[in-house]
């Protein structure tokens, strides 16, 4: 490296990182890391050429913009710096596999990683010490996360709010002071609480002019009457559904329901229940859940016409507005005749309504022909066809994006496996190490699952394409020879 030349000053880059705003308030804040880094470079005669600042980013993965920018610069040829200076190795990475991979990647281009507080040499013993430190940093990170989550769960069980935005209908208030910490709770927000209650009432009872409403009807009702959301926006279906299903409104806020990293649902035993002031009575909430369940498409079959006639329920008398119902009669030859007749006339006679009686076949054909003429007009068909093509193109694009994402997962898993194999081959990791085996099995499972999903997606795509082009294939190759499988 250039740093060994007596006439050339080594060039250094600072990498500064904190995970949270709270950490930034303590002794490893960004300004403090920068001050110590600049002093370190000055003491050793390094020329500081670049500073990379990463506020509020975890070191357990490499999804950090400034980190990636630094790695890209450090692995380019020629590299703009010879040394990367960090406050401690934990600022660089808290995953010992990933850390060793990036240390080797930089070293391959002549760039060295040094720590202000953990000075290391280049001999094998110091390399082993750095790897042990990285392993301990990873363990400490996982332990810290476990303890923080345990404390937050307990905080929720005691009725205190852990942060983030509260559900609509509630607001955050200071509850008590414990040392330097202000414990907070939720209280009912009178500005929006009535809107939540209205949503529940509309879903079960309606607005007085019509019966119980669905989620979409409620959103339309609120938007038409200028009931705005908390942010002053329009209501959507997801917001209404979330309000109708959130247990917070009966006084039981659920905390720690999903994994922070992959958003997977956690077991019920890990969920912490936080007591809050109830906004809705439990009986009302239970009734809403029962109606939601009964309307679930997975439970309720699609509505179909079960009547014996084509126009049942949709044909009405032009005179009185009564429904046209089916009447039957028998002729002198014994044949059965079917008629549509006004239900008012059928019940009350001609004094009730003078509406007409029409043969069923005649009216059915008239309605069918008229509907066909209206619906199958060239311009309408052109519009419908264009809409269908657009939707098919959108679905095809989504499938392409899904397939690309699956291939990206496969590539990422294979790259991680490659790094692990490189580390084992270099003797940095024991192939019989339990953590290494677990990591290898996890990466292989991730790769294989993504590959299987990609294969299914590709086969489904080919099947659809073969179905569309089967007729074309028969026209082009009408007499394709069959393979003799008996030979």
Active site residues: 19
Pairing of strands 357-359, 83-86: unpaired
C-alpha–C-alpha distance, residues 279 and 177, integer Å: 26
Nearest to 53 by CA among 25, 91, 4, 104: 91
C-alpha–C-alpha distance, residues 98 and 429, integer Å: 12
Is it true that the peptide bond before 354 is cis, omega within 30 degrees of 0?
no
Q: What is the DSSP letter of 278?
A: -
C-alpha–C-alpha distance, residues 91 and 36, integer Å: 14
Name residue 184's beta-bridge partners.
174
C-alpha–C-alpha distance, residues 57 and 227, integer Å: 38
Question: H or E segment at 35?
Answer: helix 30-44
Place of tokens 């496996």: 417
CA distances from 12 to 38, 133, 145, 194, 470 (A): 10, 23, 32, 60, 64
DSSP codes, 292-353: HHHT-TTTSPPP---SSSTTTTT-B-TTT-PBEEEEEEE-TTS-EEEEEEEHHHHHHGGGT-
Region of residue 217 (phi > 0: left; psi between -120 and 50: alpha; otherwise: beta):
alpha
Q: What are phi and psi of 349, to 5 degrees?
A: 80, -170
Instruction: State both tokens at 297.
Output: 């498409």
Q: Are residues 172 and 166 in contact, defined by beta-carbon separation less than 8 angstroms?
A: yes
Place of tokens 């906004």: 279
Nearest to 324 by CA among 333, 314, 332, 334: 314
The sign of the dihedral angle between the CA atoms of 54, 56, 58, 62 is negative
C-alpha–C-alpha distance, residues 432 and 400, integer Å: 40
Nearest to 119 by CA among 89, 83, 82: 89
Q: Are residues 240 and 218 in contact, defined by beta-carbon separation less than 8 angstroms?
A: yes
Q: What are phi and psi of 30, to 5 degrees?
A: -55, -50
């Amino acid at each position: 490296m250039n740093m060994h030349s007596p006439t050339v000053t080594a060039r250094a880059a600072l990498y500064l990182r904190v995970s949270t705003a709270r950490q930034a308030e303590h002794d490893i804040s960004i300004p403090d890391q920068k001050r110590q880094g600049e002093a370190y470079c000055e003491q050793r005669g390094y020329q500081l050429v670049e500073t990379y600042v990463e506020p509020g980013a975890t070191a357990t993965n490499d999804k950090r913009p400034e980190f990636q920018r630094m790695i890209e610069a450090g692995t380019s040829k020629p590299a703009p710096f010879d040394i990367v200076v960090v406050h401690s190795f934990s600022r660089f990475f808290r995953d010992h596999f990933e850390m060793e991979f990036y240390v080797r990647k930089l070293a391959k281009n002549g760039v060295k990683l040094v720590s202000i507080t953990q000075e290391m040499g280049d001999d094998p013993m110091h390399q082993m010490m750095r790897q042990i430190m990285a392993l301990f940093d990873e363990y400490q990170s996982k332990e810290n996360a476990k303890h923080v989550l345990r404390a937050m769960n307990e905080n929720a069980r005691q009725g205190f709010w852990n942060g983030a935005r509260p559900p609509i209908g509630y607001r955050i208030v200071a509850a008590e002071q414990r040392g330097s910490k202000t414990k907070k709770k939720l209280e009912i927000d009178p500005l929006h609480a009535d809107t939540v209650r209205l949503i529940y009432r509309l879903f079960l009872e309606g607005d007085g002019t019509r019966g119980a409403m669905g989620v979409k009807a409620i959103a339309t009702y609120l938007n038409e009457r200028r009931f705005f959301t908390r942010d002053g926006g329009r209501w959507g279906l997801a917001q209404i559904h979330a309000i109708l299903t959130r247990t917070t409104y009966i006084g039981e806020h659920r905390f720690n329901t999903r994994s922070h990293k992959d958003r997977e649902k956690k077991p019920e035993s890990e969920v912490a229940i936080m007591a809050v002031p109830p906004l809705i009575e439990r009986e009302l909430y239970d009734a809403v859940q029962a109606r939601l369940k009964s309307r679930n498409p997975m439970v309720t079959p699609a509505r179909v016409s079960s009547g014996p006639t084509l126009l049942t329920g949709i044909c009405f008398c032009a005179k009185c507005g009564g429904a046209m119902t089916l009447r039957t009669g028998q002729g002198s030859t014994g044949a059965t005749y079917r008629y549509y007749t006004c239900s008012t006339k059928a019940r009350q006679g001609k004094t009730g309504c003078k509406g007409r009686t029409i043969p069923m076949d005649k009216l059915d054909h008239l309605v069918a022909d008229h509907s066909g003429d209206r619906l199958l007009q060239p311009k309408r068909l052109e519009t419908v066809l264009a809409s269908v093509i657009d939707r098919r193109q959108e679905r095809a694009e989504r499938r392409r994006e899904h397939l690309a994402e699956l291939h990206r997962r496969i590539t990422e898993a294979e790259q991680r496996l490659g790094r692990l194999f490189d580390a084992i081959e270099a003797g940095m990791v024991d192939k019989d190490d339990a953590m290494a085996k677990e990591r290898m099995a996890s990466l292989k499972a991730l790769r294989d699952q993504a590959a299987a999903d990609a294969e299914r997606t590709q086969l489904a795509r080919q099947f659809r394409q073969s179905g569309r082009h089967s007729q074309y294939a028969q026209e082009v190759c009408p007499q394709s020879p069959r393979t003799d499988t008996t030979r």
